[in-house]
Amino acid sequence: MPEELQMVPITVTVNGQRHSLSVEPRLLLVSLLRETLGLTGTHIGCDTTYCGACTVLLNGRSVKSCTVFAVQADQGEVRTVEGLAEDSKLHPVQQAFLESHGLQCGYCTPGFLMSVCQLLDKNPDPDEKAIRKGIAGNTCRCTGYQNIFKAIHAAAESMKGR
């Protein structure tokens, strides 16, 4: 008879809200976010850790949440795309993607937004090379990236002095 899976207690703060729950050790962070907490803005676009659609910030660093176990986020702080806007006002990175047409189908967009937030946090004035490196883990299958680059430059500009 198969042994019962032992549940693991974890506490994780997501977009400022603290959650204490018991999870299976194999549960992925992306599944915790989407299925347990209902935060479906974080997307799943592959099963090979390739696309970056699942990117979130864990303790301020971008991670592919399909490749992190929920238990690894224990005692951690997660920020997802749902946590970007404040007081019904889009985050400057969201606004820049909107205005620069940095998205078409939008499937990849939440992941890009989170990677760009981390990039601009670390480097408020990134050059082309730094931008390419910053979004190297994110794949867009529609736009050809030109408008994404424009959006990142626009976001950097609008965030200066914040």
CB of 142 to ligand FES, least distance (A): 3
**Beta carbon nearer to ligand FES, 20 or 42:** 42
Which helix H or strand E contains 113, and what residues bound it? helix 109-122
Determine, following the binding rule CB under 6 A, whether residue 44 of this chain makes contact with ligand FES: yes
Does the CA dihedral 55-57-60-63 come out positive or negative? negative
* Three-class SS state of 49: coil
CA angle, 53 as apex, 162 and 79 as ends, to 5°?
45
**CB nearer ligand FES, residue 90 or residue 124:** 90
Task: Work out whether 143 is an interface residue with ligand FES (CB under 6 A).
Answer: yes
Output 124 or 139, the one with its CB closest to ligand FES. Answer: 139
Angle between helix 146-159 and helix 92-99 axes, rounded to 10 deg: 140
Q: Which residues bind ligand FES (CB under 6 A)?
A: 44-46, 49-54, 64, 66, 103-109, 140-143
